[in-house]
Amino acid sequence: MLDNRVLLGLAVTHVIYVFCILVFIARLIKKCHWDTWLGIPILFMALPLLYLLWKPAESPHPFMYKVQIFLALCLILWLLVFDYLFQIDFRQSFWMVVVFTILFFAGTGGLLGVASLAGKSWTISATGLYLMMAVLAFVQRNQTGY
């Protein structure tokens, strides 16, 4: 039986990946403002991530686990500040896109480590979603410029 904190980390990882995929699909099919609404559940994942940072799951590498959670929280904070609070169109600034892309893939990639604590089959599931999300991220950026 898996620890509740491991299950929480697994669920948060999958929710973030699925909603990122939905955001990218909404942008590709040009559904006006769906991406904004679909991004809101990602913001709410900060709460369980803060809990996991405060009370981490048992991990063979506890420092790295905290770094992975911290990077995901930084990504969510970036989205909250730039996309939702101040609505700054940072995707038109090259250097901000580069910083955001690094943070996006570090934050979401780190969640693979969080999900991997749940076992091999869940790691495969999370990796598949991560790869799908990564491909869609680049495809939708190429197609929409956003």
Sign of the C-alpha dihedral computed for residues 122, 125, 131 and 135 taken in this order:
negative
pLDDT over 90 at 1, yes or no = no
pLDDT tens by residue, 70-127: 999 999 999 999 999 999 989 989 999 999 999 999 999 999 999 999 999 999 999 9
Give CA–CA dist 126/106, Å, rounded. Answer: 15
For the chain, the structural domain boundaries read 4-144
Q: What is the pTM of this model?
A: 0.95
Please name the amino acid found at residue 145.
Answer: G
- Of 7 and 32, the one with more pLDDT: 7
The CA-based diameter of the chain, rounded to the nearest angstrom, is: 47
pLDDT, residue 74, reads 98
pLDDT at 146 exceeding the cut of 90:
no
Among candidate residues 133, 124, 118, the one with its CA nearest the CA of residue 15: 133
- For residues 105 and 89, what is the distance between their CA atoms, to the nearest angstrom? 19
